Structure 1
Amino acid sequence: PSERATLSSLEVARVCDRVLPPGTVNVVTGRGEDVGAAMTAHDGIDKLSLTGSHASGVATLESAAQTITPTSLELGGKSPNIVFPDADLEQAIEGVLVSIFFNSGQQCTAGSRLYLHEEIRDEFLERLRDAISDLTVGDPLGPTTDVGPMIDHTHQSTVREFVDDAVADGATLCAGGENDAVGDDLEGAPFVQPTVLTDVGDDRVGCEEVFGPVLSVFEWSDRDAVLQRANDTSYGLAAGVWTTDLGAAHEFAAELEAGTVWVNTYNDLFDPAPHGGYKESGTGRELAEEALEDYSQVKTVKVNLGGVPKMG
């Protein structure tokens, strides 16, 4: 596990210890440059799988190449939500909230780019601001909390830098953008308010993974142009399409360069369906039969029950 988030993995191992033979599940904690490097270079490991950043994925592939170890990667994303003018706005707003503010935006599938059709842009943004104002930022273990903190203060600073740079470059702060928490006992904790930016360019916050509760909003009018913009990224992990025209949704989804496309929903993973990315979002698939194939080797055995093949 990441050195920033080890406790959950250790708890999973403790649960596994109750039902699995000793040594079946092992957790090694430490920094990636130490523990991760040792594991990826070890010639006794038959399969590597990483969920992490693009930089970690590149380092893992480079190391695995030395031993030709099969590797699956689930890396970053800059996933778009495209809202068509006929969409159910209430449904789409709720989906957008889940897509970007679930886990405080610290998820690879975060829907951090929002493309609103010009006919519904203003109404959507007004209703989105109202919905965000109802969210509670606070203790992630609290029963009424909607948005928790960043993983640590270093990451909080990184997220705030994205927002500050975007505003300095001409973006408009539509909602949030400040450090925030609920309760005096949380003062100084690494919180960032749910943030919405409009008038965003296609660089930095508009194209790089922020990994925080920061939503960049773009306006569109032409179907083919917004498709091109949605695909104009080095990532391709997920996307959301919001429309009541399912025929148009299927056509659009087929052209999106993303491993998972949700229609009128988001972050709705389910076991029978594989999950993984296009382009720099990774290789291989998690979940479903495809994941089993990723962890399997194929062998051919032929038994001769007749004459032996002859030369000539």
Structure 2
Amino acid sequence: MSDDKLYETLKLSLPSDRIRRNESLDKYTHTKTGGKADYLVLPNTYEEASAVTAIAYETGVPLTMLGNGSNLIIRDGGIRGIVLHFNRLNKITVQGNTITAQSGAAIIDVSRTALNQTLTGIEFACGIPGSVGGALVMNAGAYGGEVSHVLVNATLLTKDGEIITLKNEELELSYRSSIISKKDFIVLEAVFALEPGKYHAIKAMMDELTYLRESKQPLEFPSCGSVFKRPPNHFAGKLIQDSGLQKARIGGAEVSGKHAGFIVNVDGATATDYLSLINHIQRTVKKKFGVHLHTEVKIIGED
């Protein structure tokens, strides 16, 4: 399908001001890097998202889901086809001890909503910078808690635009993994079940976790968060530090001097800088310790 015909087809499903052609994606990632999307589409409703997904399926146009770009590197060549961005689908509602959050809502905001409603169980998410959708895809977690501990079910889009709901146990949630990415599902919303708590106790826990995060992580620079998964019987940051790689730099990307598990954008880094530094770290750690570091950050797009 030609670009112009695809554009006209997309305009049948949502207004043209929410269809952006050749849109630079560096403003949509936490690393402030990334090439252009052929089409960046911003749905306001599940029906719009479903329609765009169906168009991509029927025409064979590649479709990519973009959350808030916190645990993501988009290569400098950008992304072909359609990129669905759910920043407008960010509603959070509360009913009793249950919180329902749309995919584009920040998981941090879910934890803050829980605090305001004196609900406990999701304090661990108060420092996770991702969206609800991204948190489900990766079964995000921190400080002993993770999404699988509090998730009831998720409403998802299939590749052909069908809307389905899967229960927690059907999502195959494990360490930084789920069925969502394996089946190319797109998260629309999630339902979390929490417990009644005491406001001051919940806030004290969130304050402590926020302090730990701010004191240990380089939040003053753009970054993609923790770059590598935790290898068995090791800590990625410690291996990187013991390999003498702290403050190692390629282009504008640098291994953080505050936490070696993070790569920060200190001077106009490109995605290529990030990927080159990641490869350098992996080779060095493998040579010194015989441990292969697998990336936790998702890497997409073209070179």
Rg larger in 1 or in 2?
Answer: 1
What TM-score does the superposition give when structure 1 sets the normalisation length?
0.23
Question: Counting strand residues as a fraction of each chain, which structure ranks higher?
Answer: 2
TM-score normalized by the length of structure 2:
0.24
